[in-house]
Amino acid sequence: MASSHTKAEQLVGICRRNRSIFFLIEKSSRLVRFHAMQSILLNVVLVVVWIVIMIVVSILVLILGQVSSALAGIVSLLSVLLYLVGGLVTLLVWVLCLVKAFQGQMYKLPVIGEYAEKFSAPK
């Protein structure tokens, strides 16, 4: 039978929307706090990157649309491809983190993992 911390660790991986709740209410399990904080940070980074890419692509399409509608169409198609690849990579990273959380491992993503460990440390 799994301990209550193991069940909480599994829930952090599954319940992406509730990760901030897990981070705020869980005081004793460093692993639960770590995975919740890493999930929060990962999603913040993904949203910021998505917004920046969206702004850059929009500006490129507007500028290239003045030069040639074919160029604007190519950039639009490339941006759709970029979003699809980014979504697939995001899904793979999410599944990897989910599997590691289920296994009870403290898997750190590059850069984000260090901050997650620092922010999830007990005070």
CA angle 98, 100, 105 (to 5 degrees): 140
Write the pLDDT tens digit of every residue in 36-77.
Answer: 888 888 888 999 999 999 999 999 889 988 888 888 889 889
pLDDT single digits (tens) 24-37 = 555 667 777 888 88
Would you say the pTM of this structure is higher than 0.75? no
Where is average pLDDT lowest: 21-30, 51-60, 88-97, 99-108? Answer: 21-30
Contacts of residue 57, defined as CB under 8 A and 6 or more positions apart, other chains included, come to 75, 76, 79, 82
* Angstrom distance (rounded) from CA 43 to CA 90: 10
28-51 burial code (b ≥16 CB/10 A, e <16): ebebbbbbbbbbbbbeeebeeeee
